[in-house]
Amino acid sequence: MTTPAITAATAATIAANATITAANAAIAAATAKADSAGEDPGNGTAHEAVTTVAALAPTLHRLREAWQAQPPGYAQRRADLLRLRAALKRRLPEMARTIAADFGHRSHDESLLADGMTVLAGIDHLLRHLRGWMKPRNVGAGWRLWPARAQLRHVPLGVVGVIAPWNYPVNLALIPLATAIAAGNHVFLKPSEHTPRTTRFLQELLAEVFPASRVAVADGGAELAGAFAALPFDHLVFTGSTAVGRKVMAAAAANLTPLTLELGGKSPAIVCADYPIERAAARLATGKWFNAGQTCVAPDYVLLVGRARRDALVQALRTEVAARYGDLGDGAPDYSRIVNDAQFDRLQGWLDEARARGCEVLPLAPTHGRAQRLFAPVLVLDPPDDLALMREEIFGPILPLVCVDSLEQAIAFVNARSRPLALYPFSHERGQVETILRSTLAGGVTVNDTLLHFAAENLPFGGVGASGMGAYHGRAGFDALSKPLPVLWQARRSATDLLHPPYPRIRRMIDLLLR
């Protein structure tokens, strides 16, 4: 005989399976579309899934049961972070070689800086401040509740899911993971299937540091990612394209899973008329061509205030490329490759479109070849707004240069588009910078340079609107991945004991509270 309880449970299971199936299909479709558009590309080969969809829920259950049995305290959190730091530091050369193998070639030193140094610095910051962040913080309860006391306690959430991208596959996996550990959670990590060797490196690294009941790693493709996003996490951190981010958000909605979405967009640099061209070129070159432009906060286009300086900026950028990379021959050890053939072909297609539309396209180095996926730095001068490279995030070494006649025109150009993840004003006149900051909105800003706000541990990192929601890094990440629990301590005797009917007897007290 079928009982109502069994019927309800069966219906719930069917509904959950339907949610996961829909999420799988939606995220797989979005990923396929992103592959062709370049938003979340594949590596050109089929990825053999190691983790099955059926294994996800039991793994989450194991992590949650272990966390509920004993939520990590200060000593364990600190010990975990110290072991993670030591293990990563010891394996940095292996990490850089592994990432290079996934990319075909990636600058060894860029991997050490972007995927090594940033993680070590982030863990150091967490270790330095963890004890203070964990302490209950007294706050005022207000005179109306006197003599009650109020405090905030940052308590862990439970199990945090992390979906990491391919472009900085260690950095963008381990920084949110370490932050979640610092906040007292267990972690289920899904690295990108497009860097499979790095995924195996992360599996081995984390298995060395953590028991399987505290940190787990899921390895698989788009179908697995869809099922992963649909799991009932206590918080989910996703880094990737805006298109896939929308699907992740839809999948998480079935469980009302809180989200941190780190997306992308078209991050502008505004070079004002007073700023030295050579210095602007040097700092733009670093931001744009680090990791061959495959950086979510890379300058996506430059707005140059003053058309008369265009040729000077073009020449200064050409000089920077020559000084840094030469002609990109002899293996170009300091210049990273495009991660896969699909990405290379997308970028080449966008350049072909620009040429077909009559745009001036200026390669800044002669070496360029699909065989090695070596895509030379290139400028596109004053492209029309309807080109693909002006509509979509470029995520490669193409830099559009748009000339405007005034700062007001530059601001209007930025505001006509979705809010970017990053904004880079270049000016030594404080008033001009303040005008830009007052008139625009971005996820983060570096003034007179690029990228560096990402590395400032005391600054939250996150987008706004189409470039993301929520923030992490440092204290912002600790707060996002814990619950600020409000606690009110009532005194043995309190005037609020009188706040009950019949109210006419305390009318004077009520009048006082309404002051």
Q: Annotated catalytic sites, by residue?
A: 262
Q: Report CA 309 to chain centroid distance, whole Å.
A: 34
Q: Which long-range contacts (CB under 8 A, 24 or more apart) does 86-95 make?
A: 87/205, 87/208, 87/209, 88/116, 88/119, 88/120, 88/170, 88/174, 88/205, 89/120, 91/201, 91/205, 92/116, 94/201, 95/170, 95/198, 95/201
CA distance 367 to 13: 57
Bridge partners of residue 302, in order along the sequence: 269, 401
Q: By three-state DSSP, how is residue 294 classified?
A: coil
Q: What is the distance between the terminal CA atoms of the chain, rounded to a whole angstrom?
A: 64
Using a CB cutoff of 8 Å and minimum separation of 24, what contacts does 401-404 make? 401/301, 401/302, 401/304, 401/310, 401/313, 401/314, 402/301, 402/302, 402/303, 402/304, 403/304, 403/306, 403/307, 403/310, 404/303, 404/304, 404/305
| Token digits of residue 174 | 């381990």
CA-to-CA distance for 277 and 69, rounded, in angstroms? 60
Output the six-digit token pair for 206: 């984390």
Round to whole Å and give the CA distance between 323 and 465. Answer: 38
Report the phi/psi class of residue 448: left, alpha or beta, with left for phi > 0 and alpha for psi in -120 to 50: left
The strand pairing partners of 237, in sequence order, are 162, 260
Q: How does strand 159-163 pair with strand 186-190?
A: parallel
Place of tokens 């399976």: 17
Place of tokens 């330095």: 128
CB burial of 454-469 (b: ≥16 within 10 Å; e: otherwise) equals bbebebbbbbbbbbbb
List the Cα angle 346/351/353 in 5-degree steps.
95
Q: Where does 230-370 have alpha helices with state H?
A: 242-253, 277-289, 310-325, 341-356
Burial (CB count within 10 angstroms: exposed 0-12, middle 13-18, buried 19+), residue 280: buried
Decide if 272 contacts 473 (C-beta within 8 A): no
Residue 454: enclosing H or E segment and its boundaries? none
Find residue 489's DSSP bridge partners: 149
